[in-house]
Amino acid sequence: MTRKFYITTPIYYVNAHPHIGHAYTTIACDTVARRQRMLGADTFFLTGTDEHGQKIERAAQAAGKTPQQFTDEVAAEFRTLWKRMGISNDDFIRTTEERHKKRVQELFRRIRANGFIYKGRYTGQYCFSDELYVDGARPGDPCPICSRPTETVEEENYFFKLSAFQDKLLELYANADFVRPETRRNEVISFVRSGLRDLSISRSTFSWGIPVPDDPRHVIYVWLDALANYITAIGFGSSHAGAQEAFKKYWPADVHMIGKEIVRFHCVYWPAFLLAANLPLPRAIVAHGWLLFEESKMSKSRGNIVRAETILDVLGADALRYFLLREVVFGQDGSFSFDALVQRYNSDLANGLGNLASRTLTMINRYFNGEVPYPSHAAARTPADGVIREKAEMVIAECSQFFTDHQFSAALESIWIRLIAAVDKYIVDNEPWSLGEKQDENSRSRLATVLYTSAEALRIATALAHPVIPDATARIWAQMGLGDIKSVDLNKLAWGQLRLGTKLNEIQPVFPRADKSAIERMQQMEDERRSSTIEEAKLPAVQPAVAQAPAAPPAAATPASGPATDNAKITIDDFAKIDLRVGVIKVAERVPKADKLLRLEVDIGTEVRQLVAGIAEAYAPETLIGRKVVIVANLAPRKLRGLESNGMIVAASPEGGKPVLAGFLEDVPIGARLK
């Protein structure tokens, strides 16, 4: 019988647009799924979006949309991005789908029927950003995850008897594979040992969620709703025979891959819910670290989130996939920068694999009419040929171990350093181009051996790297005349399978070299996008956290912007932190090659500030001179197109329209403060 393999990403919370943090987790899962398929497993790879909860309700409101419209749009962005990135998910679940809602209610019923749900009164602190009840916190205390102030909620709730599962959970963690890596496992053990209190699992103060069965005034706690996706998507709770069969086949999951900030939900709550419903437990929960941008945390509030699209536009999906898995040691925090990305792309992909493929295949074309030659006699072999073979065999074995352990960077290091670099050196040492000049039989034999050895090493490196860089490797495979790379059986991959006489197809470079301007182009694309969304700063205080976007740290890892009390309102003290001042525009000019940007010099009484503003489409620079405007004077400086912008100009940004500068009907002195 075929072995099954079921892997999941967390479902991403749609209050944030997709960025490379989300991409990172998804790429890692995709790589595992693709490798499992090549190992012959009946693989099911699930991803999706988490769409309920008060935070979404508020974000939709702020954007002037219904929650359904809002979530439809963001969910579509995720789907589109995954397609562009070559993500091979078998299903995409949205928690607003009927199938999910019904099955979550079935899970709730089952847990209730088993006696683990009761009704009670909850008074306590809640973090809306993380959708987390904070046990033991007092009003105003910060959230332990994001350090934003918690809000007091008081309501009649359904409670889950989490306290009943303390011992069972601790037993579970005795299996070292259940939570990985070790640091996360220890964290979870100490949390559970410190004592578990029952968990409120319903809310009645808002409605954007799944109604509690038989008591629709309550909606089900968003984490119970979200976690259940792992079973609802594959058929739990369905009355259809086909769905029931799928559930039986694929559950339990082999791997839930998550970011480290959602460990508690996955390793404590989720297994407890499953135990309460008498369902089997997942085999492993694997947590990775955060992706930092140039060493600092990537977050919406810092404005340094990098979109995957920018990288896809300039370097392609394989470049991003390779970089993230090669550069970041899985489980630890890793850093992203455009410089490092381009450097890696050039050294490993363009000069490494890409160059090995093009030089090897080009020489086979030139010297052997595009047919893979075979060394004709032993005399034409040297120990160096055997060394390449040994290295290839070692790399096959190492990769098997490293990929199984989710050590992606070690696996890629093995392929690139042990094998690809060795073959490069082998080619340089053996000078096939010199051998090709000679017509004697020994030189021809030697040439055939060198090219066969190089091509066979290329074939093995290509097959092993396929789960990580599926597009380029599929093209190299096809150029080698080997057909569809998906049909490779990795269990059987071994030296010597490249057949004599294999006819090459047309050769085309797979990784054209990227020059320095690629870095600039990507930075500019990101700067422009940020400056074109100046209206974001004027939205109500919707918490911009990424509760379930695993790779990105919750935005709130930055200091909270102030005590957000009831319903995202801010206090007068919060407002007082914003230094709004009247200024007069002294200089205004276009920023070269940036259609939306103007460079302004604004006199605010005490000094003249340089600002870069995304208003070029609405105002000609010459019309702005002498105009009084409102600027946010104490905004941290940032760079746009290499220009430092000290502050932000305040403008209304009508939906779909051009920005309109704020101004005054009466005369007002320069430097006056708005309060």
Q: What are phi and psi of 425, to 5 degrees?
A: -65, -40
Residue of 30, 50, 51, 130 that binds Zn ion (CB under 5 A): 130
Question: Could you say whether residue 143 binds Zn ion (CB under 5 A)?
Answer: yes
Nearer to Zn ion, 143 or 286 (CB): 143
Residue of 29, 32, 85, 127 that binds Zn ion (CB under 5 A): 127
Residue list 515-554, contact with Zn ion (CB under 5 A): none
Nearest alpha carbon to residue 88 among 28, 40, 39, 41: 28
Least distance in angstroms from the C-beta of 200 to Zn ion? 16
CA distances from 600 to 79, 578, 583, 594, 632 (A): 39, 21, 11, 14, 14
Cis peptide before 509, with omega less than 30 degrees from 0?
no
In the beta sheet, which residues pair with residue 117?
160
Least distance in angstroms from the C-beta of 546 to Zn ion? 11
Nearest alpha carbon to residue 600 among 582, 624, 635: 624
Residue 513 tokens read as: 């070299």
d(CA 37, CA 493): 14
Nearer to Zn ion, 122 or 336 (CB): 122
The count of chain residues that interact with Zn ion, using the rule CB under 5 A, is 6
Least distance in angstroms from the C-beta of 559 to Zn ion? 13
Segment near Zn ion (CB under 5 A); pick from 119-127, 291-299, 414-422, 530-538: 119-127
Report the amino acid identity of residue 525: M
Segment near Zn ion (CB under 5 A); pick from 82-90, 130-138, 169-177, 364-372: 130-138
CB 458 within 8 A of CB 476: yes
Question: Could you say whether residue 557 binds Zn ion (CB under 5 A)?
Answer: no
Tell me, what DSSP letter sits at residue 507?
Answer: -
Angle of CA points 625, 627, 628, to nearest 5° = 140
Nearer to Zn ion, 129 or 414 (CB): 129
Tell me, what DSSP letter sits at residue 158?
Answer: E
Nearer to Zn ion, 281 or 560 (CB): 560
CB 135 within 8 A of CB 191: no
Segment near Zn ion (CB under 5 A); pick from 129-137, 279-287, 323-331, 561-569: 129-137
Residue 490 tokens read as: 């990795």
Question: Could you say whether residue 564 binds Zn ion (CB under 5 A)?
Answer: no
Question: Could you say whether residue 301 binds Zn ion (CB under 5 A)?
Answer: no
Least distance in angstroms from the C-beta of 147 to Zn ion? 7
**Residue 373 backbone zone (phi > 0: left; psi -120 to 50: alpha; other: beta):** beta
CB 263 within 8 A of CB 280: no
Least distance in angstroms from the C-beta of 144 to Zn ion? 8
Residue 153 tokens read as: 């909620």
Nearer to Zn ion, 205 or 369 (CB): 205
Using CB atoms, what's the residue nearest to Zn ion?
143
Residue at token pair 């079921």: 6
Question: Could you say whether residue 145 binds Zn ion (CB under 5 A)?
Answer: yes
DSSP helix/strand/coil, 355: helix
Residue list 309-368, contact with Zn ion (CB under 5 A): none
d(CA 244, CA 605): 72
Nearer to Zn ion, 137 or 464 (CB): 137
Nearer to Zn ion, 143 or 219 (CB): 143
d(CA 155, CA 205): 8
Segments of 221-313 assigned E as strands: 255-259, 285-288, 291-293, 296-297
DSSP assignment of 8-46: EPPPEETTS---HHHHHHHHHHHHHHHHHHHTT-EEEEE
Nearer to Zn ion, 266 or 475 (CB): 266
Residue at token pair 């090493």: 457
Residue of 117, 134, 146, 388 that binds Zn ion (CB under 5 A): 146
Nearest alpha carbon to residue 78 among 8, 19, 9, 30: 19
Nearer to Zn ion, 355 or 548 (CB): 548
d(CA 317, CA 463): 18
Segment near Zn ion (CB under 5 A); pick from 135-143, 251-259, 323-331, 616-624: 135-143
Name the pairing type of β-strands 12-13 and 42-50: parallel
Segment near Zn ion (CB under 5 A); pick from 143-151, 302-310, 346-354, 524-532: 143-151
Angle of CA points 20, 22, 28, to nearest 5° = 95
Segment near Zn ion (CB under 5 A); pick from 14-22, 33-41, 76-84, 146-154: 146-154
Least distance in angstroms from the C-beta of 134 to Zn ion? 8
Nearer to Zn ion, 126 or 273 (CB): 126
Segment near Zn ion (CB under 5 A); pick from 77-85, 145-153, 208-216, 468-476: 145-153
Nearer to Zn ion, 454 or 558 (CB): 558
Least distance in angstroms from the C-beta of 216 to Zn ion? 28
Least distance in angstroms from the C-beta of 142 to Zn ion? 8
DSSP helix/strand/coil, 505: coil
Least distance in angstroms from the C-beta of 159 to Zn ion? 21
Segment near Zn ion (CB under 5 A); pick from 136-144, 293-301, 427-435, 498-506: 136-144
Segment near Zn ion (CB under 5 A); pick from 122-130, 417-425, 523-531, 558-566: 122-130
Residue of 95, 129, 229, 310 that binds Zn ion (CB under 5 A): 129
Segment near Zn ion (CB under 5 A); pick from 121-129, 299-307, 342-350, 643-651: 121-129
Least distance in angstroms from the C-beta of 230 to Zn ion? 23
Least distance in angstroms from the C-beta of 73 to Zn ion? 25
Residue at token pair 């792992």: 230
Least distance in angstroms from the C-beta of 556 to Zn ion? 6
d(CA 412, CA 485): 18
Nearer to Zn ion, 151 or 348 (CB): 151
The secondary structure element, H or E, covering residue 406 is none
Least distance in angstroms from the C-beta of 537 to Zn ion? 21
Say how many CA atoms lie within 13 Å of 559 toward its Cβ: 2
Least distance in angstroms from the C-beta of 130 to Zn ion? 4
d(CA 111, CA 374): 65
Residues binding Zn ion (CB under 5 A): 127, 129-130, 143, 145-146
